Structure formats: structure tokens, C-alpha cells
Chain A
Amino acid sequence: MHMPSPGRRSLIAIPAHNEAATIRDVVDRVHAHLPDCDLLVVNDGSSDATSAMLADSGAIVAEHICNLGYSRAIQTAVLYAARTGYDRLITLDADGQHDPEQVRALLAEFDAEQLDVLIGSRYMVSRTYAGVPFGRRIGMRLFSTLVAVTAGRRIYDTTSGLKVIGRRTFDPLTQWHFIDFHAEALVYLMRLGFRVGEFPVTVVERRHGQSMYSTISLLKYPLKTLLMLLLGVIQADLTRRRAS
């Protein structure tokens, strides 16, 4: 079994918004499977008992006093990891869809390939998006293709919440604004020259709570992501030009 390289500190970050039904179980499983990693839960303005469920859980809790959204919760975790001197940040969903046991294999791949970002991919092996609702399937194909066109490398699962993020990318990820740290963030990082990879993982269906995407957001999300993806390309190229 892979153990983190000596001296490399890893932080597991779980953004949570109204996940009282699952959060304690997820935290306990992370502690059980990854005892050598620190755990940060970003409680993103939950109005249910998420905060109470986290009391005495052994996790460090960053409390957003109001709901800022997924990307800002991730950004809080990145800022915390950067300021506290962690080398790697691993993001997991709070709904229990990701198995913490798979993080070991992700970390091994991340180290072996010397990547800056590694995505836990649900579709890398099948490449068919089977079982995904029709509308989302079109969106996933579209953004996977756009990433391939704009960044030169196809990423099959651009919306995965399971990622390993290396220290080198902490600064760019906090200096530019993203929607959900999905396709737009990947393209931005790849255009800046960071190494992004994918590794196959399996997820289980969420049993509690609701997806963060409502009916309206299903219409608005692709437009916002498309716009930010194109702006990310411009911004990354400008940043590179200024740096050289």
C-alpha cells in the first residue's frame, strides 16, 4: 500500500452544505482509511445539523457564516492548505459518493507521474457516460471536447469532485475566479503549463440530500462554464505573456 512520501503533508478537504445525513460517516471513513492525512471540512453555511455532526469528529472545521457556493468552499480549502504549508490537497464530496480508500491509489499515481492536478475519473475507462441523464451527458461531452480543443488534452470527467491538487497550483487557483473548479479551472491550469491527469475511480450513488445543480442551473451552468472557459484561455495566455 502506498504511503505518502516522507515530509509531504496532505490535507483532505470536504466542502459541505446541508450534509448532516452523511458528513459524520464520511469523516469517520476518512479517519479510518487515511490516518496520516489531516482533514478539513468547509461547512458552507449549512442550515441543518451539519455543524453539530462535526463537533468532536476530529476534523478541522472552517465555518462559512453564509453560503458561498462550491467553488468558494474549495477556494477556502486551497487558501488554508497554502497558508498552513500543506503539499497536497485532496478534495472529496460530502455526500459519501467517494470512497476514501481510493485516495491511496490516487496519491500513488499523483507522485509517480509528478502531476499538479489529478482527477478521480468516473468515465475514463468506459468513455460512454452510461447512466448519466441525457442533458448532462451532452454537457459532459461538450466540455470534454472543449478541454481537448483548448488545452490539447482530453479530460473525460471534468466535473469530478475527487481531485488531488498539488502545492504549485495553490497560487493560480486562488488568484483567478472559477465557477465550480471544473472544465474552466482545468483549462486555465493546463494553459499555464501545469500537468493535469486522470485516474479511474468508482463512485456510489448519493443516498441523501440533493445535487447542487437545480433545473435552472442546468441551463445556466453550461453558459457560465463556457464563458469562463474562454476567458480562462485569454487570462492564462495573458499571464504567461506577462511572465515571459
Chain B
Amino acid sequence: MTTAGVITGTLLGCVLLIWVVNLIRNGRLYVGYGVIFVFGTLAAIAVLLVPRVLEAVTAASAALVPAPSLSIGAIVIMLFLLVYVFTQITILSNRVMHLTQELAIRGAQRQDRPHPEPGEPR
């Protein structure tokens, strides 16, 4: 890979890393999904930055899947799309979770106080 390719790949990895970490921090990406992206991206950056490992990985992957270099661009786009999809799944899952917790708490409050004050949510 050319030096420009390594720099571009590393920069893209850093952008993905910052985006994913921020999504996890804000609770918009479940940490179970995020951890795969974070450690996967860190591993990919490490491979890019160590020439011998990069050569070995390139040789192995080219032997298995001889693909034009443009397909790497498609993989990167797919990766970003995947993070977006997982974000949407997390948002939906958070809504279900809050609803489940709210129902449980209200049910428990009804047992604790079977006759709430007028106007108090049941």
C-alpha cells in the first residue's frame, strides 16, 4: 500500500473511532456493538501502521480474495453504514427498555400503594 493509502486509511479509522466512541458515550450505540467496532478499528489501524504486518495481511487477503483496490472504498462505506444501522437498533432498543422499566416500576408502585392519591399516575 502507498504512503498516501496508509495515511487515508488511518485517518478514516480515527474518524470511525471518534464517531463510535461518542455514540457509545451518549448511549446511542450499545456498548456490545461498539466494542467490536472500537477494537476492530484499533486492530486495523495497527495493521496499517506496521509495514511488515500490512504486507503479510495484504498478501494473505489478496491470495484469498483478489479484489480491486476500489472495493476497499465500498467496504469503508459499508462499515459506516453498519454503524448507522446499529445506532438505529440501539435507539429502538433503548425505547423498549425504558418502556419495560416504566411498566415494571408502575406495577411495583401499585403493589406498594394500591390506592394512590387522586391525579397520581397509575
Residues of A within 8 A of B (CB): 38, 40, 42, 60-66, 68, 72, 75-76, 79-80, 83-84, 177, 179, 220, 223-224, 227-228, 231, 234-235
Contacts and interface: CB of A to CB of B under 8 A. Distances in A.
B117 interface: no
Given A72-B97, A227-B35, A231-B21, A65 B103 contact: yes
Contacts, number: 64
Given A60-B112, A177-B27, A224 B32 contact: yes
B88 interface: no
B24 A231 contact: yes
Contact of A62 (B31, B32, B39, B105): B105
A223 B112 contact: no
Nearest to A75: B101
Interface in B72-104: 96-97, 100-101, 103-104
Contacts of A228: 24, 31
B109 A84 contact: yes
A104 to B, nearest CB: 24
A76 B102 CA distance: 8
A179 B31 CA distance: 8
Contact of A234 (B25, B32, B101): B25
Interface of B: 21, 24-25, 27, 31-32, 34-35, 38-39, 96-97, 100-101, 103-105, 107-109, 111-112
Contacts of B24: 227-228, 231
A223 B35 contact: yes
B107 to A, nearest CB: 6
A181 B51 CA distance: 41
A40 B112 CA distance: 10
Please indicate which of the listed interface residues B96, B103, B105, B108 has the most CB atoms of chain A within 10 Å of its own CB. B108
